[in-house]
Amino acid sequence: MTIPFAFIMLLGAAPCTPASGDAQSVLQSAVAATGLRAAGARVLHLKGFDVISQDFQSDRMYPPFLSSVGPFEAWFSPASGVERTSSRTAVAGNSYPRPTSIASATASYVVRDTALVPSEQLHASLYATRPLNVWAMLDDWLASATVRVVERCEYRDYPRIVLSRAGPRGEERLFVDERTGIPLKLDRTEPHYLWGQLHVEYVYSSWQRLDNVLLPGVSFRVVDDRTNIERTFESTSLVPA
């Protein structure tokens, strides 16, 4: 009888164990590791591509699914936590621009000429993409008064300290490497109008040094164990505000 490798890994997986400690110290180690505060008055300028699964509008309910691909350009201010983003989307022979947005953790606006138009619909969609920027994610955690250490879990082959906070739509968990302070994953449950509750993970990978900061070369949004968004960064730079 052959035992599937995945089943062997499941049996051998180390369970999470309760943990305690100074949550702010752990969070500050992640801030220091990524250089969030080292940017000073500068703005993080990002260019890259989003590959987004369009399984919900594919022609069949099984793979292969359509994917949209689009370039984006973003500016993030560590001083304010505000991000401005412009992008385009191409899918199945069609291409169209997406509205330029200015957003924080609490509000989002569509940029129209010199006017800013508040948009709840845009804010709801940016809720799913804002954590792809690890600095924006950490900035939101720094503003929370509910951060605490909850447990230690094995994730990607090593034990990680896990922080918890009350997010805007429920509990969020942040996996941090204790040795380096690098944040590896944001984990949360998201409500969905059609599918109910979804397990969503934001995974940060392929870290690269930029001046005195450290940033992922790619970020993933994984929904129920399937990659929903792959954000590959083409270039990153720190520019004067």
User: In the predicted model, is pLDDT for residue 9 greater than 60?
Assistant: no
Q: What is the dihedral of CA 38, 145, 188, 120, to 10 degrees?
A: -90
For residue 18 the two structure tokens come to 């309760």
Q: Which two tokens stand for residue 173?
A: 């968990």
- d(C-alpha 137, C-alpha 216), whole Å: 13
Rounded average pLDDT over 213-227: 95
Sign of the dihedral through C-alpha 33, 37, 39, 42: positive
Question: 58 falls in which pLDDT band (50, 70, 90)?
Answer: confident
203 contacts 211 by C-beta, under 8 angstroms: no
Q: Residue 161 and residue 93: Cα distance in Å, rounded? A: 45
**What are 81-114's pLDDT values in tens digits?**
999 999 999 998 889 888 899 999 999 999 998 8
| pLDDT, tens only, 193-214 | 777 899 999 999 999 998 889 9
pLDDT digits (tens, 9 = 90+) for 105-150: 999 999 998 899 999 999 998 999 999 999 999 999 999 999 999 9
C-beta neighbour count of 135 within 10 angstroms: 21
pLDDT at 12: 47
Name the pTM for this structure.
Answer: 0.90
Q: Where are the extended beta strands (E) located within 15-147?
A: 17-18, 43-53, 67-77, 82-91, 94-103, 108-112, 115-118
- pLDDT (0 to 100) of residue 14: 59
Is pLDDT at 6 greater than 60 in this prediction?
A: no
Q: Do 172 and 186 meet the contact criterion of CB atoms below 8 Å apart?
A: yes
Mean pLDDT on 54-61? 81
Q: Is residue 175 within 8 Å of 154, Cβ to Cβ?
A: no
pLDDT per residue as tens digits for the range 148-195: 999 999 999 999 999 999 999 999 999 999 999 999 999 999 988 777
